[in-house]
Amino acid sequence: MARLTAAIGSSHVPLLGVGIDQGKMDDPYFKPIYDGYNWTKEWISSPENKPDVVFLVYNDHASAFDMNLIPTFAIGCADEFAPADEGWGPRPVPNVQNDADLAWHIAQSLILDEFDMTIINKMDVDHGLTVPLSLMFGQPDKWPCKIIPFAVNVVTYPPPSGNRCYQLGKALRRAINSYEEKDLKVQVWGTGGMSHQLQGPRAGLINAEWDQQFMDDLTRDHDRLISIPHIEYLRETGSEGIEMVMWLIMAGALGKNPRELHRHYHVPASNTAVGHIVLEPAN
Q: Which residues bind other proteins (CB under 8 A)?
A: 14-15, 61-63, 66-68, 85-88, 155-158, 195, 197-208, 210, 230-231, 234-237, 239-240, 267-268, 270-271, 273
Q: Which residues contact 165 (CB under 8 A, 6 or more apart)?
A: 152, 245, 246, 248, 249, 252
Known catalytic residue at 276: no
Catalytic residue among 12, 127, 222, 276: 127
The single-letter code of the amino acid at 208 is A
Q: Which residues contact 9 (CB under 8 A, 6 or more apart)?
A: 189, 190, 191, 215, 218, 247, 250, 275, 276, 277, 278, 279
| Least distance CB 208 / other proteins (angstroms) | 7
In 11-162, the DSSP E strands lie at 53-58, 73-76, 80-81, 96-97, 118-120, 146-152
Asked whether the beta carbons of 114 and 172 are under 8 A apart, the reply is no
Beta carbon nearer to other proteins, 13 or 133: 13
The single-letter code of the amino acid at 143 is W
Name the 3-class secondary structure at 42: helix
Beta carbon nearer to other proteins, 23 or 200: 200
Known catalytic residue at 127: yes
Beta carbon nearer to other proteins, 42 or 157: 157
Beta carbon nearer to other proteins, 209 or 223: 209
Asked whether the beta carbons of 263 and 199 are under 8 A apart, the reply is no
Beta carbon nearer to other proteins, 187 or 197: 197
Asked whether the beta carbons of 236 and 243 are under 8 A apart, the reply is no
Catalytic residue among 196, 222, 264, 276: 196
Residues constituting the chain: 283
Write the burial class of residue 196 (CB in 10 Å: 0-12 exposed, 13-18 middle, 19+ buried): buried
Kindly list the catalytic residues: 127, 196
